[in-house]
Amino acid sequence: MPKIIIPANGWRPRPYQMPAWAAWEKGIKRSLLVWHRRAGKDELSLQKFAVASQLRPANYWHCLPHYEQARKAIWEAVNPHTGKKRIDEVFPMEIRKRTDNSSMVVEFKTGSVYRVVGSDNPDSLVGAPPLGIAFSEWAISNPSAWGLLQPILLENGGWADFITTPRGRNHVHGMLKMARERPTTWFSQVLTVDDTGQV
């Protein structure tokens, strides 16, 4: 049986993604990435889930503003460069135990579970405690979801990514100010197309 290397398919962070990846590897447990569209925000979080799921058996959640949006943007999304579904590229079948398309869940042979969820019903997020969460499109997500889940991550030492494109002065604005004041516990970054060179 061939050896599976994670991250799979030769993935490596792009140069501008490397500071965020390195901060996570160093143990920074909170990350706020305000990056332009197509900068690879969800891709970076998916790769973190792939690595974390193999290192520590736990629940990992990818949370988008709406459950159906999560299905389209993450679960059913196809990489236009390869023609493969994003989750299939990131989570090779060889490391999976079971995949449930209806509930958008991947169970791994390690015992970890990756789940795609929506913040449109925060009460539904209470239950099996996650160790890692990515709040995608955080600027248009329900911020009360973080209020419910933050105590769980504080208790179990888990991590959270807040990834978004800019959407004016909202809860992201206040969070960015706070994150910049706490560089030892938060990684924060704002990137435009001029910063990344990605179009």
AA letter at 1: M
pLDDT tens-place string over residues 116-156: 999 887 777 777 789 999 999 999 998 888 988 999 999 99
Query: How far apart, in whole angstroms, are the C-alpha atoms of residue 59 and residue 129?
Result: 7
Q: Are 113 and 31 in contact (CB under 8 A)?
A: no
Burial (CB count within 10 angstroms: exposed 0-12, middle 13-18, buried 19+), residue 184: exposed
Q: Are 33 and 20 in contact (CB under 8 A)?
A: yes
Query: How far apart, in whole angstroms, are the C-alpha atoms of residue 107 and residue 28?
Result: 26
pLDDT tens-place string over residues 66-121: 988 999 999 999 988 889 999 999 999 999 999 999 999 999 999 999 999 998 87
pTM over 0.95: no
